[in-house]
Structure 1
Amino acid sequence: MGTVTAAISVSAAAAAVSRSRRAGRRRHRGPGVFSCSVSTAGERQALFSRIAPVYDHLNDVLSLGQHRTWKRICVSWSRAKMGDRVLDLCCGSGDLAFLLSQKVGLDGEVMAVDFSRQQLQTAADRQEQRWKLCYENIKWIEGDALDLPFTDCYFDAVTVGYGLRNVVDKSRAMQEIFRVLKPGSRASILDFNKSSSLFTASLQSWAIDNVVVPLASGYGLTEEYKYLKSSISQYATGEELEKLAREAGFTVAKHYELGGGIMGNLVATR
């Protein structure tokens, strides 16, 4: 897969999209490729495109490899199983999508959606370099979390890794996640935790200022990683995320703290 060609063709996409809800609203950028159109979202899209080449390396260094454990937990809590059709929303460079691929097997499907074409290209390159037979079930799609190109009740599970925090309209994104999930299925959403503990919040802030940003500056990404601190401060607390999920229609929503409260994972059941 040398370049990112969205793995949904025009005809397949037409079958997957609920036309009645999207007539006149969805914008195309080439056949089978879906994109965001909000200006603020565009700025965030550009930011994630810039950090794509070093994103995985920085994640490993900054978390001492722990992000891989948190991502495995996130996928496990989604309850994805063999033969399932699953969505990894805001897939980035593909870590959760690769884990989901192994969960659902060749009889399942993984739709991996992101608004950054560069991140998708990185994911596609990784898929080629770390080839496994099950990875053939992954389709990389450039798309909008606020207007997903899938019909209602399409997926058996949804995961989001470090993406909901960066969505312009979190309530609408949660509604879209709810819409595309089958009844009784789960969404598992991993991200930084906006802790109510003063100690944890202070430690998190100190680490960003004194570890994350200085390290990122070595790659010329100082401003890009300064954004992390403000995005966490503007994010929802665990309780607020639970409320957001229930307001979207989920019957059960529970937020769990991970990594000593630095990270959090929302599990919501439709």
Structure 2
Amino acid sequence: MATLSHCLPSITSQHRRLFFRFKHRPIQCSAAAERQALFNRIAPVYDNLNDLFSLGNHRIWKRMAVSWSGAKEGDNVLDLCCGSGDLAFLLSEKVGPNGQVTALDFSKEQLQIAASRQRMRFKPCYKNIKWVEGNAVDLPFSDSYFDGITIGYGLRNVLDRPKTMEEMCRVLKKGSKVSVLDFNKSTHPIAISFQDWVIDNVIVPVASGYGLGSEYEYLKNSIKEYLTGDELEKIALEAGFSTAKHYEFSGGLMGNLVATR
């Protein structure tokens, strides 16, 4: 049987690279659409479930993530995969009324909820948040545009993590930081077993009470398919960041990558 190069002798190496790059695009688009639909479905109860599942601790974790981003008064910052806006609101308090927060997500429903939460808040700083529907692997911003980036529970759910890291590195100013908060993919058997038990016996049953059991069953596999702390540090450095450090906390259940452009 002839090889591809024998069948297409006139195609240049550049065209061949493009062929291999795009031949799986329909599958990726389908998976992205399914994931987008999932987050649209859970949007109405997303915040309530976060409070239940974490016993409110997610608010502490998010404050830690924002602190690690290095955001300060007057900065122009990005909250990527912003969901219903928790990190964006915390960032707005850090950068103040003279700063700017751009919050991007691919779920229109999540963005609508975030915008409605913004309308109900009265601090002047909350007016500095702009909600953008977009794709984490193709950010609609110029190079070296932001003073800091946060992404909470989002990198795990994108289909092309290295490309997302490259995009974050591209739009960050030199010396600025990205803070990536998510479930930790532990390498310790006890932590792995406990995490699985919590998902099977707490998260999925509670979500089922909201009619969203099947939507939250994906969580276990998404963590297993995620990256360990060492792997996150590696893809950050490969994406162009100068330093990268991953921190584990809450008994190894959570993790935060801090990478400097």
Which residue among 188, 194, 199 is the counterpart of 2:190?
199
Matches within 5 A, 1:108-147: 108-147=99-138
User: In the aligned structure 2, how far is the partner of 1:151 from the partner of 1:128?
Assistant: 28
2:58 paired with 1:67: yes
Equivalent residue number for residue 153 of structure 1: 144
C-alpha distance after superposition, 1:180-201 (max 9, x if no partner)? 0000000000000000010001
C-alpha distance after superposition, 1:22-78 (max 9, x if no partner)? xxxxxxxxxxxxxxx922111100000000000000000110000000000000000
Percent sequence identity is: 68
Q: How many residues align?
A: 234
TM-score when normalising by structure 1: 0.86
Which residue identity does 1:125 align to in structure 2? S
C-alpha distance after superposition, 1:116-138 (max 9, x if no partner)? 00000010111112332111100
2:199 paired with 1:208: yes
SS of equivalent residue, structure 1 residue 261 = coil
Equivalent residue number for residue 49 of structure 1: 40
User: In the aligned structure 2, how far is the partner of 1:223 from the partner of 1:253?
Assistant: 35
User: In the aligned structure 1, how far is the partner of 2:243 from the partner of 2:45?
Assistant: 37
2:257 paired with 1:252: no
Equivalent residue number for residue 218 of structure 1: 209
2:160 paired with 1:169: yes
Please, which moves more after superposition, 38-47 or 198-207?
A: 38-47
Equivalent residue number for residue 106 of structure 1: 97
Structure 2: any 5+ residue segments left out of the alignment? 1-27
Equivalent residue number for residue 183 of structure 1: 174
Structure 1: any 5+ residue segments left out of the alignment? 1-36
Which residue among 76, 93, 100 is the counterpart of 1:85?
76
TM-score when normalising by structure 2: 0.89
Question: Whose Rg is larger?
Answer: 2
Equivalent residue number for residue 40 of structure 1: 31
